[in-house]
Amino acid sequence: MDVAAFLAASKAHPPPRADGSDDPSSPPMTTFAYGTAGFRLPAELLDSTMFRCGAVAAIRSAATGAATGVVVTASHNPERDNGAKLVDFHGGMLPPRWEAMAEALANADGDAETTAALEALINDDAAAADDGSAHHHVAAAVAGSTPPTVYLARDTRASGEALAAAVRSGLCPARLSAHPLRSIPALGAFQLHLTPFNSTPTFAPVRAEGIAAAGARCVDLGLMTTPQLHYVVYAANRGMPCGEEDYFERLAGAFKTLASSSTATAGDEDADDRTEIETETVFVDCANGVGAAKLRTLASLLGPEMLPLSLRNVGGEPGDALNDRVGADFVQKEKRAPTRGGFDALPPGARCVSVDGDADRLVYFTKKRARAGDDDDDADADAAAVSLFDGDKARSTHRSPYDRVGVTAYANGASTAFVQESLGLETRCTPTGVKHLHPVAESFDVGVYFEANGHGTAVFSDEATAAIDDAAARCAADADAAETDNGPETETETETESSKALRELRALTRAINPAVGDALSGVLVVEAILRARGWGLDDWDALYRDLPSRQSKVSVRDRAAITTTDAERRATTPEGMQDAIDAAVRMAGSSARAFARPRRVSRSLVDPTSLSFVFLSPPLAPGLVGGFGFAGTEDVVRVYAEAATDAEADALAREVCRIVHARAGGVGDPP
C-alpha cells in the first residue's frame, strides 16, 4: 500500500479538532468507538472516519481476496447522526480484531499514528485464517481473482451522500501493492460508472492522480437497506446473482411458495381463520427511512392479493423526520405505537409492525394489550415462532429438528423457558449484540436468534441447506416417476405431508436473508408462519407471557472497574457487587433476575441543532432434520431487572442501580 499517498489524501479529510480548526497540534474533539454496529456520532464529526473506513474495507478485501462492504447509516439513531458499518466478505460482521484496528485507525492522530494503524491492518497475519474459501465457501472463481472490491450503500439521511463520498475517497488512496509480508497483485485502478444498479455493474479503468500502483474498485449502490448490502456482499462472493432485483426475487418467490402452501382450501377446518389472516392488512411503520421504498418494491412484486401492506411513515413530507417517535426502536423501548402515521386511528387488533431507519430490525405490535400489558411484542417471540415452524416442518419430514436458539442476557426469561421447555430446544447465551449471536447461530445446522430489540434471523448451514434441497429434489423426482409409471390419472397432485414440508423448508431457507437479520425478510417470514398456523397476533402472543422487565443505566467514573463473565450476566469485579446483586434478586422472588454490564456510549456536550454551522468536507447431524462541539464517550453501566410483577421489577431495578452506584464509582446523586 502506498502509505504516503494515503497520508497525502487524508489531508482533505482531517479529524475534528476541539477548537474547530484544522491545526494538527489541537487536541481531537472526540474519540471514535466502533460499537456493536459500527461508528455512530453526529454526522458532522465523521468525515475523517468515513474516509478511513474506505481504506479499512479496501485492505480487508485485499487481505481476504473477496469483496467487502460499507454501509453509511446510523440505524435507529436520530437523523442528525450518521455512521459506518463495515461488512466482511461473508456478508457478516468484521472479526473483533479488525473492528479494534478500524477503531485505532479512526482515532490515529498525525502521520506517525496513522502509518502505524495502517501497517497493523496490512500486516495482519491472521487474515489468511479468515480466507473465504476456507471458512465460508466463497466461490473460488471470485476469491483472489478480482481487484480489491468494496460495495457501498447508504440510508436516506441528508448527510449520507457527502459521507459516502468520503468513503469512496478512502478507497482510492488505499492502493494495494506488493507488501513485505504479503504479495498483492497490481490490478489497476477502477472507477464505477454510476448507472442504475444491475446484476453486473460495469467499470472503466482510470488513472488515480499521482498513483501508479493498484487500487480498490467501488460499487456504489446508492440507497439500500443495511441488510440488502450485507446480502449483496454475501451473494457476490459466492458467485450468486447479487443485484437488488435478485434480492427481491429471492424473497418474493420464497414467500409465494410459503403462502400458496397455507392458502385456505375447501374442507380445511381452519379455512375461515386462514382466509381472514390472508386478507388482513398489515400496517407497516417504515420509520421515514430507506425501508419504505424497498417495501414498496417488494409489495408490488407480491401484489395486494398475496400480501396486503399499508405503508405508513414513508418519508418525503414536511416533518417526516427519520426515527422521530416512529420506528422499531421507539416502539420497543417506549412500549407504545408510533406517534405518527395514523396508528392511533386504527381499530383494536389491527396487525402492525415497525421497522427501523435502515430496516435491519422489526417489532410487531397491536393496539390491544400485548406482552406485559403493553402494545408491542418483543422480538423474542420471533425466535419462538420461527423455531416452532421450523421444528414442525422438520418433524413432518421424519427428521429431527436440529436447530438451536441463541439468546442474550436481555432475552426475556419467559421466552427462554418456552423455547427450552415447550419446544425442547437448546439455547446458547452469548454477550449482547448480533456480532456475538450470529457466529454462534452459524455453528449449528439451524441457528435462530432474535434480540428483544428486533435484531435477529435464522441461519441455515450450507450442509443443512444442501440436505434440504437434495431431499426436496428427490421427492419431486419420485413424484414425476410415479406419474410416468401410473399415468396422469394417479393422484400425484396430492402432496404427501413429507414432500410438502420439504418444499416449505426449502422456501424458508430462501425467504430468510442468509447474511444478517433483515426487517423486510422478517415481515415475510412472520406473515408466512402466521398463515401456516392460522394465527392472528393474539394467538402468537399467547405462546407465553413475558415477565415484567426494566432497563436502566448508571453513570460511573470508569466502566473498566466492572468486569463480567457468563455472557455478561455476572460481574467479577468490583468485589462484592455481584453478591449484593444476588441478594437483591433473591429478595425479589423466584422469577427474578438482574445483571449489570458496562458500556461506553457516545456523548455530545453541544446540541448540534443549536448551532448554525457544520463542516461536511467531505456442522450437520446424521438425521437432519454532536454537531460541532466537544463530543466523546461516557462510561455507563446498563442495568437489567426482571421479576414476576411490575412492582417487583421496578423495585429490583432501583436496588441494583443503587448497588452499582455505591460499589462501582457512580457519578452524581445516587439513584
Is the pLDDT score of 502 beyond 50? Answer: yes
In this predicted structure, what is the pLDDT of residue 389? Answer: 52
pLDDT number for residue 103: 97
Give the position of cell 488515480.
208
Alpha helix segments (H runs only) across 219-283? 226-236, 244-262, 271-279
66 against 18, higher pLDDT = 66
pLDDT at 417 > cutoff 70: yes
Q: Please, which pLDDT band fits residue 419 given cuts at 50, 70 and 90?
A: confident
pLDDT at 299 over 60: yes
For 280-373, CATH gives 3.40.120.10
Average pLDDT over residues 30-54: 93
Q: Are 464 and 445 in contact (CB under 8 A)?
A: yes
Alpha helices in 38-148 (DSSP H): 47-64, 96-107, 111-122, 132-135
For the 549-618+626-663 domain, the top CATH level (class) is alpha beta
pTM: 0.79
- Give the CA distances from residue 218 to residues 55, 118, 148, 167, 171, in Å, rounded to whole numbers and listed in that order: 11, 20, 9, 9, 7
**pLDDT exceeds cutoff 80 at 146:** no
Res. 21 pLDDT band, cuts 50 70 90: confident
Greater confidence, 260 or 39? Answer: 39
Q: Strands 403-408, 362-365: parallel, antiparallel or unpaired by DSSP?
A: unpaired
Say if residues 83 and 131 touch (Cβ distance below 8 Å): no
Could you give the strand order of the β-sheet that contains 426-430, starting from the edge strand earlier in sequence?
Answer: 426-430, 403-408, 446-450, 456-460
Stronger pLDDT, 112 or 373, i.e. the higher one: 112
Distance CA 78, CA 41 (A): 10
Q: Which is more confidently placed, 637 or 124?
A: 637
Q: Which of residues 483 and 395 earns the better pLDDT score?
A: 483
- Least confident residue range of 319-328, 591-600, 630-639: 630-639
What is the dotted CATH code of the domain comprising 3-241? 3.40.120.10
- What integer is the mean pLDDT of 29-57? 93
Q: Locate 533 and state its grid cell.
A: 398456523
Q: What is the mean pLDDT of residues 160-180?
A: 73
User: Which residue did the predictor score with more confidence, 600 or 648?
Assistant: 648
- Is 64's pLDDT higher than 60? yes
Any idea how long the chain is? 671
Mean pLDDT of 520-534: 91
Please tell me the predicted confidence (pLDDT) of residue 13.
93
Residues with Cβ within 8 Å of 175's Cβ and at least 6 positions away in sequence, in order, are 1, 2, 5, 6, 189, 208, 211, 213, 214, 215
* pLDDT(73) > 70: yes
Bigger pLDDT: 138 vs 436:
436
Q: Which helix (H) or strand (E) holds 550?
A: strand 549-555
Tally of CB atoms within 10 A around 485: 8
Q: Is residue 269 over pLDDT 90?
A: no
> Could you give the count of Cα atoms lying within 13 Å of 178 in the half-sphere of its Cβ?
1
**Given this model, what pLDDT does residue 178 score?**
30
Region for residue 629 given its phi and psi (left: phi exceeds 0; alpha: psi -120 to 50; beta: otherwise): left
* pLDDT on residue 503: 86
Mean pLDDT (the chain, rounded): 78
Q: Do 530 and 540 touch, CB atoms closer than 8 A?
A: yes
Q: Is the pLDDT of residue 404 over 70?
A: no
User: Catalytic residue positions?
Assistant: 75
Confidence class for position 18, pLDDT limits 50, 70, 90: confident
Dist. CA 285–CA 288, nearest whole Å: 8
The pLDDT of residue 480 is 67
Report the share of the chain in percent with pLDDT over 70: 73
Express each pLDDT in 453-493 by its tens digit: 778 888 888 888 888 888 888 887 776 666 665 555 444 44
For residue range 181-227, what is the model confidence (pLDDT) as tens digits? 222 232 233 333 332 333 333 333 322 222 222 367 889 999 999 99
The pLDDT score that the predictor gives to residue 272 is: 56
pLDDT at 622 over 50: no
Distance CA 360, CA 380 (A): 15
Domain ranges for the chain: 3-241, 280-373, 380-514+537-541, 549-618+626-663
Residue 625 confidence (pLDDT) above 50:
no
Q: What is the mean pLDDT of residues 534-539?
A: 85
pLDDT of residue 589: 93
Q: Under a CB-based contact definition with an 8 Å cutoff, are residues 458 and 517 in contact? A: no
| Higher pLDDT among residues 162 and 137, named by residue | 162
Q: Residue 513's pLDDT is what?
A: 94
- For residue 601, pLDDT beyond 70: no
Please give the residue that has the higher pLDDT: either 68 or 209: 68
Q: What is the pLDDT of residue 408?
A: 67
Q: Reduced to 3 states, what is the DSSP secondary structure of residue 26? A: coil
Rounded Cα gap, residues 543 and 385, in angstroms: 9
Three-state DSSP string of 428-486: EEECCCHHHHHHHHHCCCEEEEECCCCCEEEEECHHHHHHHHHHHHHHHHHHHHHHHHH
The sign of the torsion formed by the CA atoms of 410, 415, 420, 425 equals: negative
**What value does the mean pLDDT take over residues 516-534?**
91
pLDDT of 264 over the 80 cut: no
Q: Which of 60-64, 185-189, 378-382, 629-633 has the highest mean pLDDT?
A: 60-64
Q: Same fold for the domain at 280-373 and the one at 549-618+626-663?
A: no
Confidence (pLDDT) at 215: 60
pLDDT at 126: 66
